[in-house]
Structure 1
Amino acid sequence: MTASSKTHILFDLDGTLVDTRAAVTECYSIVFREELGSPFPPPGFPVGELFAMRPPEVFASVAPDKVEVLHAAYRAAYPRCASLVKVFAGVRDLILGLRQSGRKPSIVTNKGLERTLIDLKVADIPADAFEVIVTAEDTIDRKPHPAPILFGLDKAGADGSDAIYVGDGPQDVLAARAAGLDAVAVTYGFYASETLAQLEPDHLVDDVAGLAQALGVSMPAEVAG
C-alpha cells in the first residue's frame, strides 16, 4: 500500500505543520531571563536538539532543582509568544484536503496539549480536522520511542498497515520505523536534508507541494506551484 492510498496520516507538529522556532525560542528566553536571570541559550546547550526535547528536559539540563517552577513559567509565557507561530504555506489546504477526501489526519507530537491547541488556533487549522491529537500528556515515552505513535494508532482505531507518519526530524523517522509504519520526512522543517536522508525514510520531500503529491492530495494551483 502506497503513501497516497493510506487512510491514516499521522503528523508531527513543530517543523512539520507549523514553524514554531521563533515562538519557542522567545518563550525560553522569557523564562530564562525572568526566572533565572540569564540569557538563552546557556553556554554549551545543545541548541540543535531543542525541538526534540520537552521543556522539562530542557530545564532539567540547566536547573534540575527548579524544573516544575520553570515549566509552569514556560506554560504561562507561551501565549505571549503565540503570535510568532507560523503555518507552513499550504499545510492548512493539505489537512483539509485529506479530510474532505475521506482520509484521516492525526497529530502525534512531543508537545503539550495546551500549546498544541494554541499553535493550531494561530495557524487557523481546526483541531477537529484531526482524527486524534496525541500530546506529551498521553505517554511517558517520547519520540523516537514508538509509544506516542502506537498510542495514536490505537486511539484512532487504525491498523499500522493503513497508516503513515510524517515528520521533520530524525526522531520522527526512528519512531515511525519502530512502530512499524512507513515514514515521510520533510526537509522544510527544523532538520537538514542530509541528516534525514541518512536514515533512509520511505519518502523525502522538500516542500508542502511535494508532501501533498506523495500523499496523493490535490492542492490549489498557488500551492502546487
Structure 2
Amino acid sequence: MDQAVIFDMDGTLFRTETILERALDETFERLRSEGRWQGATPIDAYRSIMGVPLPIVWETLLPHHETAVREATDGYFLTRLVENIKSGNGALYPGVTELFKRLSGMGYTLFVASNGLIPYLEAIMSHYGLNRWITETYSIEQIDSLDKGNLVAQIVAKYDIQDGFVVGDRLSDILAARANGLVAIGCRFDFSQEEELRQADHIVDVLAEIPDILTTRHVSR
C-alpha cells in the first residue's frame, strides 16, 4: 500500500466537548439519584485524562466504587454519548470533510484508530457520513492491551503500510506513530497538552495544514 494517514477521533476529528459535558452530567445525575455520588459532575477531572480508554476513566473518576458500579456507569455513559450524537448535539472540527476529500483525491488511504468504543465510533461515522473516505475504523476494544500502539500495528500489518502518518492530539497518538515507524502529526486542539505535542514530528493548529506536511515529508520506515 502507498502512504496512509491514521486519524485519532476524539479531540482530533470529533469535538468531543460538544457532547461530553452533557453525557457526563447525565451519567452522574443518575449516580446521584442512586445515592452513589454527591457533589458536582467531575468534568474537569475527565478533561485532564481525555483520550484514555474508558475503563481507566472510571477507575480515575470513581476510585472508591466497586467494579460492577464502574461497569454499569460505563455502559450508561456510552448510551448517552451515542444518543447525543444521533440527536445532532455533537460536531466535527472545522475542515474534516474537506480534508478527507482532498487527501483521498491525493491518493492517501485513510483510517481511524481510537480509544473510543465501537458503538460510539459507529455513531459518529454514520451521523457524519465519514465512511465515504475512511477505509476502516479501529477501536481500542479490539485489542486486549488497550495500547494504541498495538492498535495502529494491526492496521499497519493488515494493510501492509510502508509509509504513513498518525494524526492525533495526545501522547498516545504520538507514541503509536513512533512505535510503528510512522510520522506523528500533533493537533493543538482542545484537549492537547504542549509538553506532549513537543514529542510530535509536526504540530498543526488547524486540519487544513496537514496536506502541506504530507506532500513535503517523505517517510521511510
> What's the TM-score once normalised by structure 2's chain length?
0.82
2:116 is matched with: 111
Residues 40-97 of structure 1 show CA distances to partners (whole Å, capped at 9, x for unaligned) of 108x946311x22222222233023312211221122123322232111111111122
Identity %: 20
- Structure 2: state its 5+ residue gaps: 217-221
Number of residue-to-residue matches in the alignment: 204
Residues 124-177 of structure 1 show CA distances to partners (whole Å, capped at 9, x for unaligned) of 24224212211022112234x51011012123x133x31111111112111211
2:141 is matched with: 137
Letter in 2 for 1:53: V
2:30 is matched with: 34
Counterparts of residues 177-216 of structure 1 (less than 5 Å): 177-192=178-193, 194-199=194-199, 201-216=200-215
Q: Distance in 2 between matches of 1:170 and 1:177?
A: 11
Is the partner of 1:29 in helix, strand or coil? helix
What is the aligned counterpart of 2:154 among 151, 154, 157? 151
Q: Distance in 2 between matches of 1:130 and 1:46?
A: 28
Q: Distance in 2 between matches of 1:85 and 1:216?
A: 31
Is the partner of 1:88 in helix, strand or coil? coil
Q: Distance in 2 between matches of 1:45 and 1:164?
A: 30
Contact preservation (8 Å) 2:101, 2:133:
yes
Is the partner of 2:142 in helix, strand or coil? coil
1:89 is matched with: 94
CA RMSD, 1 decimal:
2.3
Contact preservation (8 Å) 2:10, 2:51:
no
Q: Distance in 2 between matches of 1:148 and 1:135?
A: 8
Shift of 1:182: 1.4
- Structure 1: state its 5+ residue gaps: 1-5, 218-225
Letter in 1 for 2:20: V
